[in-house]
Amino acid sequence: MRGSEEASFLKKALDKAFDRITYVFALTAGVFFVLIVIILVINIILRTMFSSGIAGQFEIVQYGVMICIGFGVARTTYTERHIHIDLLTNHMNRRMKSAAKFFGMLICTFLYGYSSYLLVNLANGAAKYNRVTDIYRIPFHYIYWAFFALLTLSTTVFIYLTCLYFTGIFTGSDQPGKKTDDGKNEASHEV
């Protein structure tokens, strides 16, 4: 019984840590989204009134959207507040649902991990050839390393969720660590 108490304590501690981390992700994504909207509105006003927009606006919005998506996906997946269709999983038992979610998380983990790997290669190539952005002349390898860090953080969330759903296959829980509307963790077992 001592082992299960320690495992429960560890899971609660990890849930709390990942909840805080992904909450910061959501705030960061929200701030960048608001900044993007402000930049776009200012750009529209400048183009309408003065026939001149913000220099490098496309680059700013492009990288801002990448940050919003990278951080936003991790948070919405962690809290299970993403859009999904239960057409296939409605008729499955809890273990099968957990297995389906496990394979979905495994795919997300692989895609985010592979994207991180590609960014390392892009960063090394950009540094080798001294590639810079068009307007602000920012070296691309700095941008690629920043997005590598972002994707690596998000990948850790997917790895954690993959592990939770893997254990859910054996425990019969299809929603381990699911959040309630007030943001608190529900018990990982259902009645």
Residue 179 lies in a domain: no
Q: Mean pLDDT score of the chain, rounded to an integer?
A: 84
Residue 52 lies in a domain: yes
* Band (78; pLDDT cuts 50, 70, 90): confident
Burial of residue 168 (CB within 10 Å: 0-12, 13-18, 19+) is: buried
pLDDT score, position 176: 56
Contact assessment for residue 89 and residue 97, using Cβ atoms and an 8 Å cutoff? yes
One DSSP character per residue, 86-151 reads -TTTTTS-HHHHHHHHHHHHHHHHHHHHHHHHHHHHHHHHHHHTT-B-TTT--BHHHHHHHHHHHH
Residue 75 lies in a domain: yes
> Number of C-alpha atoms within 13 angstroms, CB side, residue 86?
11
**The residue to which tokens 């998000």 are assigned:** 154
User: pLDDT at residue 184 above 70?
Assistant: no
Instruction: List phi, psi (to 5°) of 132.
Output: -130, 160
One-letter amino acid for residue 137 of the chain:
R
pTM: predicted TM-score of the whole model, two decimal places: 0.77
Give the chain's domain count: 1
User: Domain residues for 145?
Assistant: 2-83+91-171
* Tokens encoding 14: 């990890």
User: pLDDT at residue 93 above 60?
Assistant: yes
Residues 185 and 162: their CA atoms lie apart, in Å, by 17
Mean pLDDT of 17-31: 92
Residue 185 lies in a domain: no
User: pLDDT at residue 190 above 50?
Assistant: no
Mean pLDDT of 65-70: 87
Residue 157 lies in a domain: yes
* Band (53; pLDDT cuts 50, 70, 90): confident
Residue 102 lies in a domain: yes
The tens digit of pLDDT for each residue in 29-52 reads 999 999 999 999 999 999 999 988
Residues 67 and 147: their CA atoms lie apart, in Å, by 8
Residues 191 and 189: their CA atoms lie apart, in Å, by 7
178 Cβ neighbours under 8 A, 6+ residues apart: 80, 185, 186, 188
* Tokens encoding 163: 């592990």
Residue 178 lies in a domain: no
Residue 119 lies in a domain: yes
The tens digit of pLDDT for each residue in 114-172 reads 999 999 999 999 999 999 988 888 899 998 998 898 888 889 999 999 998 898 888 87
